Amino acid sequence: MKKAIITGANGFVGSAVTKELVNRGVEVLALDMKGHDGNLPENQACSFAEFDLAHPFEIKERAASFGADIFYHFAWAGSAGKARTNAGLQLDNAKWTVDCLQLAKEIGCKRFVNAGSIMEKETVEAVFSEGNRPGLPYIYGSGKLVAHTICKAVAADIGMDIVWAMITNAYGVGEKSARLINATIRKCIHHISPQFTSGVQNYDFVYIDDVARAFFLIGEKGKPFCEYLIGSSRARPLKDFLLEMREAIAPDLDFVFGEVPYTGVLQPLDDFDCSLTERDTGFRAEVGFGEGCRRTMEWMISDGEE
């Protein structure tokens, strides 16, 4: 890998992967919305270009002249908050992902690596379990799943190597969303006891530095038309993770379990198996969950969270 194009390059995961590739000597064309370049590395190996996800072919001439070997796709509108339940937007995301795949082919890239989600597996279980009433957040998972299935069919038709990397739950320095880890750490900083479900559902979390390294290795060594899960290889019940967090950053604070109803499905531990990723790419997560939470809390405090 000598040159890479990355969409959503200024986002949480995209910027981490951009920095990882640049640090490894890969030249990157970073694509994101106008003015969204503050998280990119200040390095001559990284150039920025404005990118409209809804109109990806507008960047075709610039992208073709760059001469990339590989195309990483992270851009996805509505990946957090209420927008995750917007059916029209999530279906648009799926179409835009297919458009980016076709763009990658037309500009001469040999490989297309997409950021999928563990929610794809959970969505299948939630939707196809008889009698289950899936919640609205599964609309996001459905969008990812639709993108996955259509992209593989289109890639096979046009002769593009596609590799699908499914992230379990990325967290760490640089993320500013209100997802579970950030929300809980904020409560710890403010000495507020967080409340959770009973926490019996299986879960996994992987620190952002490990995620970035995984995407580099998957891009380099992943086999075409394979799915690679990016996780810690230490999946377990959510309650165990949260108790590890408390021990690491708030040992004197009560974590209250069982106060919040759980409406999802219970995924088997097999859904979190990262053995194929380890076997084909050599990736294995290095940052423990407690250490990752400490780093994240220290960054949040330094970034202005009091």
Instruction: Residue 133: count other Cβ atoms within 10 Å of its Cβ.
Output: 8
Q: At what angle do helices 180-189 and 289-302 cross, to 10 degrees?
A: 60
* pLDDT tens, residue by residue, 20-65: 999 999 999 999 999 999 999 999 999 999 999 999 999 999 999 9
For the chain (306 residues), the mean pLDDT of every run of 10, in chain order, is 97 98 98 96 96 97 97 94 95 98 98 97 93 92 98 98 97 92 96 96 97 98 98 97 98 95 88 97 98 98 79
The overall pTM is greater than 0.85: yes
Question: Cβ atoms within 10 A of the Cβ of 117, count?
Answer: 22
Report how far residue 127's alpha carbon sits from residue 31's, in angstroms, rounded to the nearest whole number.
34
Enter the DSSP assignment of 23: H
**CATH class of the structural domain 3-167:** alpha beta
